[in-house]
Structure 1
Amino acid sequence: MKKTRLTESQIVKIIKEYESGIDAQTICREHGIAKATFYNWRKKYSGMEASQLKRLKELEEENRKLKQMYADQSLDNLMLKDLLGKKF
């Protein structure tokens, strides 16, 4: 299968197709996605609107950045403590 990124609105549209009664196999074949991908989306995004999905992705990205900043600060803090502990 080809690798393409679908937009939030496309993902929501695909999930709504399933909720309207179209079977998963047909949806996956029409959109060129793996069944596992579809079921992961359904589990994660079912019942969401496109704007909610976009906001969720923004928050996940912000969370990832904050975790990276925390890790960087922790390393800086550890290095400073190490330097202060050594005698010159």
Structure 2
Amino acid sequence: MKKKRYTEEQIVKILKEVDSGKSVAEVSRDRGVTEATIYRWRNRYGGLEESDLKRLKELEAENSRLKRIVADQAMDIDMLKEINSKKW
């Protein structure tokens, strides 16, 4: 079965349904999302608005990109140290 991806808007709407008083089980059945997924979203995104959630995703992507850059630079530094340490 193919894994379905939900947009920020969809996640926020689902969480608002639960916050409005519907049970997690009911929302899970209606939306075709597992209860575990809803609880995971609630723990991660609970209380966020759509714009906040979009900004969070943007920041996570930027953080990931910056970590890759730091790792690349660390490899470059190690390589330069190795080259510099050799006797000519």
Q: TM (normalized to structure 2)?
A: 0.94
Alignment-derived partner of residue 30 in structure 1: 30
- Counterpart residue number, 1:79: 79
Partners in 2 of 1:2 and 1:25 — Cα distance? 22
State the Cα distance separating 1:73 from its structure 2 match: 0.4
2:26 counterpart SS class? helix
**Is 2:57 aligned against 1:57?**
yes
Q: How many residues align?
A: 88
Does 2:69 align with 1:69? yes
Any unmatched runs of 5+ in structure 1?
A: none
Q: Partner amino acid for 1:16?
A: K
Distance 2:21 2:27 in 1: 10
Matched-pair contact (CA < 8 Å) for 1:15–1:42: yes
Across the aligned residues of Structure 1 and Structure 2, the Cα RMSD in angstroms comes to 1.1
Q: How far apart, CA to CA, are the structure 2 residues paired with 1:36 and 1:76? A: 42
Structure 1 runs (4+) greater than 4 angstroms displaced: none
Equivalent residue letter for 1:70: V
Identical pairs, percent: 53
Larger relative contact order (CA 8 Å, sep ≥ 6): 1
